[in-house]
């Protein structure tokens, strides 16, 4: 009889410890007050606004820089092709490299978007 009581006491203590560990974890997903939910929603919205602003800046600045670079390289390429027509193909490669700046800005925007 004493052995059964000791076993039941040990089982009761074990269940109390298990409930003490699992209940706070389960309560974390419980319903929250409306004020807390509204604050979380506003925080998420502010983060999203910041992400979209960063995406717009990365694409906009990189595209403007690429446009400026292509403009300068294009003028130089045409000027050099006027004097030596055989180097025109080599000068167009530099214009393509300048366009890579805009592609890098777009890549950064996609990386911001997926995080």
Domain assignment of residue 78, yes or no: yes
Please give the pLDDT value at position 54.
Answer: 94
Please give the pLDDT value at position 39.
Answer: 83
Domain that holds residue 81: 53-114
Confidence of residue 35 (pLDDT cuts 50, 70, 90): confident
Confidence of residue 53 (pLDDT cuts 50, 70, 90): very high
Residue 92's domain is classified under what CATH number? 1.20.20.10
**How far apart, in whole angstroms, are the C-alpha atoms of residue 4 and residue 22?**
27
Please give the pLDDT value at position 83.
Answer: 92
Confidence of residue 110 (pLDDT cuts 50, 70, 90): very high
Please give the pLDDT value at position 57.
Answer: 95
Please state, as a whole number, how many other Cβ atoms lie within 10 Å of the Cβ of residue 73. 19
Domain assignment of residue 44, yes or no: no
Domain assignment of residue 102, yes or no: yes
Q: Residue 105, class by beta-carbon neighbours within 10 Å (0-12 exposed, 13-18 middle, 19+ buried)?
A: buried
How many domains does the chain contain in total? 1
């Amino acid at each position: 009889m004493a052995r059964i009581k000791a076993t039941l006491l040990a089982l009761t203590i074990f269940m109390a410890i298990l409930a003490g560990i699992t209940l706070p974890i389960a309560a974390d997903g419980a319903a929250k007050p409306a004020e807390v939910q509204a604050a979380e929603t506003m925080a998420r919205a502010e983060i999203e606004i910041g992400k979209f602003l960063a995406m717009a800046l990365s694409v906009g600045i990189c595209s403007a820089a690429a446009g400026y670079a292509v403009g300068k390289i294009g003028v130089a390429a045409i000027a050099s092709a006027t004097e030596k027509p055989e180097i025109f193909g080599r000068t167009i490669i530099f214009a393509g490299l300048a366009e890579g700046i805009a592609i890098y800005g777009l890549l950064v925007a996609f990386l911001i978007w997926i995080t």
